[in-house]
Structure 1
Amino acid sequence: MSGKNTSHDNIVRVVKLHKIGNRNREIVKITAVNEKTVSRLLQKWRRAGSGDNVPEHKHGGGRSLKIPSKTLRLLRRQLDLNPSITAKELKEKNPKLLRNVSVRTIQRNIQKRLEYSKVKARVKPLVAAKQRCCRVQFAKDHKDWDLVQWHKVLWTDEATFCVSENKGTKVWKSRTSSMCDPRLTVTSVKHPPYLMVWGSFGYGGTTGILSWLPPRLSKCFNY
């Protein structure tokens, strides 16, 4: 049985569920703890007097952790404040706590114990506060339009294709966080000087595709 499922929090849950009348099989479904483990924990609890005393989980032997739980909680706070920070920067930022810990060990603890993963930051268009207000106001002004009015609307959009590849920024993402979190995104300019393509559609169908390339790049690509 892994120590994760028999942590102190899960042990407390097992005892509380037993106190309110849940059977062992029901406790297994709720807590995902093995049925034999549930029985063993409840036996320890009964031997302790069946009071408020909760049996502590005994960890196995072996070497002590290079990064204690207290230090790991500090790293979690720093990752939440700055998800783009690297393991090397964490080591340099905490010289006393991580002096004898390698960068690879820091990465492994972040991934396995904190359950963070290194992902590519999502590119989010840079929208000013005034633009946000205008979009909300547009939605309010047109929320009661009927189909006849929407048939007269032409929707247009454009996309920019960069000539060079952009590898982007990588950030630390926890299992519960969303990729739409502003801390996990990087802003981008909507109109860089590269090939731009326009298109539109409405009730009557779609239009043709229009493209534009900056003059300074036209000669390079014989456009």
Structure 2
Amino acid sequence: MPRLSAIDRGRAIGQLQAGNRPAAIANVMGVATSTICRLWTRFQASGSTRDGARSGRPRVTTARQDRVIYRQHLHQPFLPATETSRNTVGTHGAPISGTTTRRRLSANHLYCRRPARRTLLTAQHRQQRLQCGHEHLNWNQRQWRDILFTDESRYCISHADGRIRVWRRHNQRYAANNILQHKAWGGPSVMILGGIGLNHLVGPVVFQGIGPGRGNGVNAQRYINQVLGPTVVPYFQLHGNLTFQQDNARPHTARATTAFLQQNNIRVMP
């Protein structure tokens, strides 16, 4: 049934005061007879046709529970809202819903988002990085120009492996043209290494024989045979006083790699 507007309420009261029956008025206005009767009762009691104040739906959590929910997720950001819901009994005597938990968190400016993915760092790693930053904080351009920064990256050939979105209609998630297809084992890919400095450029070097499966990744021997030997060593011999920078991946820090760099007098940035 539709709600009566302020004008219709006034018309209904006028007709009731004129002696018309509530049922006849309700039939003309398209509402239930009980609606007209309640309107008349309210008018006689208060002299007004306005709606009374409503308390709204009672909250199922107390203010203290709201604070507990907020603090739990502030200190445990990966805690699922559903787990908090199961462990929180509301004022209605039952566990609260996940929606309620999410609303309480949103009210405190905590929102569900995809987490950023980064390399695992221990406390020692962080301390070492901070120390490295302090040691090189005051380096000038002349000092940095003799550093050759290198890194390798994997690139998928069969499909884009970054974050991709699809625009589709509702209930069309599994339509053939909306599915991003890829090989079950990840598909073919290439590993490419490059180096860059203020006035230097090395590569790109494409690793050969890299693929899925145990033993088919980049190891120390492939790193030496495909990168250091044919590319890095000749470049350093040609350009003289350079310092080689690489990350701490296992092929880079292996004993064979360290020995090879020392044998060829290549200074490595610590």
- Normalised to the residue count of structure 1, the TM-score between the two structures is 0.47
Q: Which has the larger radius of gyration?
A: 2
